[in-house]
Amino acid sequence: MARTPKSLPPFAALRAFEAVGRLGGIRRAAEALDLDHAVVSRHLRVLEEHLGVQLLRRSRGSIALTAEGERYHQRISAAIAELINASVDIAQVSCERRLCIWCVPGLASLWLTSRLKSFQAAHPDIEIELQSSHQGADFAQYEADVDIRYIAGHEHVSAALTQGGLRRFEVARPAVLAVASPALLATLPAIKAVSDLLSLPLLHEESDDQWYRWLTAYGMRADRPMRGPRLWPAQITLEAARRGQGIALANSLLLSEDLAAGDLVVVWPQAPVATVALGAYVFTARADRWHTHAVARFRRWLRSITAP
């Protein structure tokens, strides 16, 4: 006769029994639980001894659940499933309150950081984690909830484009401007055409590619390689420009605070000439996280502050 247990069986034993009954064997259960099969067998013996009931019928290397084992397995399977569901639910509630953002460094430090205060004021329930990164987040490994990259090129990203389990939208396609410090500009000859820039001190990010593409967009074919220091990332290039070391290229989002403060001035294009964009900032998130509380509110806020 089965005795009434005075305490709950060890959870490890219950977990092992559930896996054996579900997968139909000790070795399969051991693989699923990442345990040695001898450990799983020991858990099963402990459980039967604790309950005083034979749960498994063993015969020539095979096992099967007894009638009592079948009934017990159904109940503990449901209980373990409920524990898992409860854990997932509480984790999702916690995730709803956190937002991990990976962002290309220039935008993170020169534009986004100073504006996050307004988002946090509007959504005090959301905890922000911002990481400046040159590499995009690995969404398969849940490295971030949101990733914002600068994508060079003229092809526009469709709103909420879904691809490979991810959704994207184009945050902004800002104009790229040639800028210098007011002190340096006062020492330079008058700039009457874009070609005049080639005789002036130029600052480059990593390579001369950005200057080359920008000049080409204005109809100017420049010889390569171009002279001038390579300073990367964008923050270093702009700091050199502020210190009067040369003329830099940067987009209007990164320049917004410097231009407002008068630390840098636009040397080209001269208004009202149309401006050139060389790429766009693109927001990416997992499709299955797109409508969660934190991600949805952040992308709507981002749209609102970048709307033309």
pLDDT in tens, 113-130: 999 999 999 999 999 999
CB-based contacts of 299, cutoff 8 Å, min separation 6:
146, 169, 283, 285
Q: Which has more confidence, 61 or 213? A: 213
DSSP designation for 247? B
Is the pLDDT at 37 greater than 90, yes or no?
A: no
Rounded CA-CA distance 39/44 in Å is: 9
Say what the pLDDT of residue 3 is: 57
- Shared-domain flag, residues 188 and 259: yes
Length of the chain as a residue count: 308
Say what the pLDDT of residue 273 is: 66
Strand, coil or helix: what is 31?
helix
- Which amino acid appears at position 42 of this protein? R
CB-based contacts of 257, cutoff 8 Å, min separation 6:
110, 111, 114
Q: Which domain holds residue 148?
A: 100-170+288-306
Is the pLDDT at 160 greater than 70, yes or no?
A: no
Rounded CA-CA distance 114/241 in Å is: 21
- Shared-domain flag, residues 57 and 126: no
What is the number of other CB atoms lying within 10 angstroms of the CB of residue 72?
20
Report the number of distinct structural domains present in the chain: 3
Final residue belonging to a domain, choices 55, 77, 94: 94
- Shared-domain flag, residues 39 and 184: no
Is the pLDDT at 1 greater than 60, yes or no?
A: no
Is 127 contained in some domain? yes
pLDDT in tens, 72-92: 999 998 998 888 777 666 655
Is 214 contained in some domain? yes
Rounded CA-CA distance 46/17 in Å is: 10
- Which amino acid appears at position 194 of this protein? V
